[in-house]
Amino acid sequence: MIESVVIVSDQSPIGKNSAREALRLGAGFMGLGEEIDCKVVLMGDAVYLISKHADPTILGIDSFDEPLEMAELSDLEILVLDTALEDAGLTEQDLVNYEGLLIINIEDLSKLFDNADTIFRF
């Protein structure tokens, strides 16, 4: 039986839906109940999904608010790789206000992967 799921997204939320769909899938797993521990990891360009300065509507793309609200309502943890933030030129102060947001390092990520029953990549 699957008890823990990690969903990893490293794709830009601009021009692709992968990062948004990672949050939607994670919220769906959380909706199944407390039997499945699910976390979403944002790395690479996916970190722009949680930048409070990003305004995709300027490009005619839907806002990032809906998947973030869905994730927050389901108490989904969103983990962000620290080096991805650094590569994007972002700091913790540049991120949206999200209660379940944690910044992790590569060692934390490795442990998370080692302990996960299933890993999805978007």
Domains, the chain, ordered by start: 4-121 (3.40.1260.10)
CA distances from 118 to 34, 71, 104, 115 (A): 16, 19, 19, 9
Q: pTM of the prediction? A: 0.92
pLDDT digits (tens, 9 = 90+) for 42-60: 999 999 999 998 766 666 6
Q: How far apart are CA 37 and CA 97, in angstroms?
A: 22
pLDDT digits (tens, 9 = 90+) for 26-46: 999 998 877 889 999 999 999
